[in-house]
Amino acid sequence: MNDLKDDPEKKNLVIIGGGFAGATLARRLENTIPDDWEIYLLSETNFVTFNPLLPEVVGASVLPSHVQAPIRQMVKRTRIRMVTVERICFEKKQVHYHNNEPGVLSFDHIVFAAGVKANLTMLEGLAEHTLPLKTVGDALHIRNTIIERLEQSTIHPSEERRKQLTTFIIIGGGFSGVETAGEIDDFLKSAERYYKNVERNDCRIILLHAMDQLLPELSAKLGQKTAAIFAERGIDVRLNACAATIEHEKVTLDSGDVIAGATIICTIGTTPHQFLQHDPLPLERGKIIAQPDMSVAGLSGVWALGDCALVPNAYDDKLCPPTAQFADRQAKHLARNISAHIAGQSTQPFRYKPIGLLASIGHNKAVAEIYGVRFSGFFAWLMWRGIYLLKVPTIARKTRLFLEWTWAMLFPPDIAHLGYKRTQEKTELAK
């Protein structure tokens, strides 16, 4: 077993999680933490995924690589370790991990920024019969599935089966569900001319939402506006439609209604990582309870932020929502607090007044609520793109994304099936 404390004279600060919160924190700490400290970032991947743009990967508006940024190109001092964390020993102050082989890393301070993962056990049949949308791989797989359905529909002799093949059911009417529905609608309208046997009227998008309003994070008026725009575009929005069970090509609601469709996409459900679920950490609903300065009570040198933590906001005395906007602000604030703690100074509670929220609804339109002002349409869409373009990590990714968005406005979407099959040759001996 390897111990990665390279220099015994230096102290280690370990960040678990290479998402938006963890990467931003590492970048900030590089400029403020003393030189006798090493920063380690442990992550299962060596890139940051900009999750708000995953629906655009589904709709072929951007390429998968455009929503990912290599962490090693974002940091200088930080040591990156692409590993899976298995457990943490607080008594010995060690992180146990594995990659090709098991290893252990000692720490003096540790930060939990691990986010959450998809929960595919919350509904019967969810894991077996739906396509989750949590990673770039998920988004690319959904995109390929949509293209496969169009290809299958062009050659199937049964009109009824063709309609079922081009029925797409989306579970969840939050940001991901709404933006995915809009992207799929745009993609189908642009791609139909290349599929001679597929009529756009035969393609259906059904959006199921368990609540009485789409986009519950926004105002009721914007939720109603989104539903009205979707209705005009032919997207079937069903509110108060709570999925009970999922079977092959059908969803049964708790009302008993059955909705059939060949492709079922799931945008709901998250669960904390297993390595967080042990006694020393104060937990609620599987998430770490953080103090106002994002330290963890009863554990010296332990901090938590982002989606894996419950962080109170001193601005309104409420818990921070699990959004990239808050993860970014938390990371910047925590970098100051950790540096202050190391220097023997007092830390400050996290306080942030949110700017607002935006959601793209397809067809070059968005809905937005900025500092209490609500608006929608093309201007909101331009603002949505501008804000996210600024937040995408690295200049290289910003430039590529801008060029890709400009290209997509002028040319039809890419309908290539991006399969990655390896070459396999069967020999007589192998047989």
Query: Does residue 299 sit in helix, strand or coil?
Result: coil
Start-to-end CA distance of the chain, whole Å, equals 40
Q: What percent of the chain has pLDDT over 90?
A: 77
CATH code of the domain made up of 2-44+83-116+272-342: 3.50.50.60
pLDDT tens track for 37-95: 999 999 999 999 989 999 999 999 898 888 899 999 999 999 999 999 999 999 999 99
Domain ranges of the chain: 2-44+83-116+272-342, 126-270+356-410
> In the prediction, which pLDDT does 431 show?
47
Are the folds of 2-44+83-116+272-342 and 126-270+356-410 the same? Answer: yes
Judged by average pLDDT, the poorest of 147-151, 235-239, 318-322, 418-422 is: 418-422
Q: How far is CA 430 from the centre of its chain?
A: 42
* CATH class of the region 126-270+356-410: alpha beta
Spatial contact of 12 and 107, defined as CB atoms under 8 Å apart: yes
The answer, as to whether pTM is greater than 0.85, is: yes
Q: For residue 10, how many C-alpha atoms fall within 13 Å in the half-sphere facing its CB?
A: 15
Q: What percent of the chain has pLDDT over 70?
A: 97
pLDDT tens track for 3-44: 555 567 799 999 999 999 999 999 999 999 999 999 999 999
Q: What is the mean pLDDT of residues 387-405?
A: 87
Give CA–CA dist 47/36, Å, rounded.
Answer: 26
> In the prediction, which pLDDT does 2 show?
55
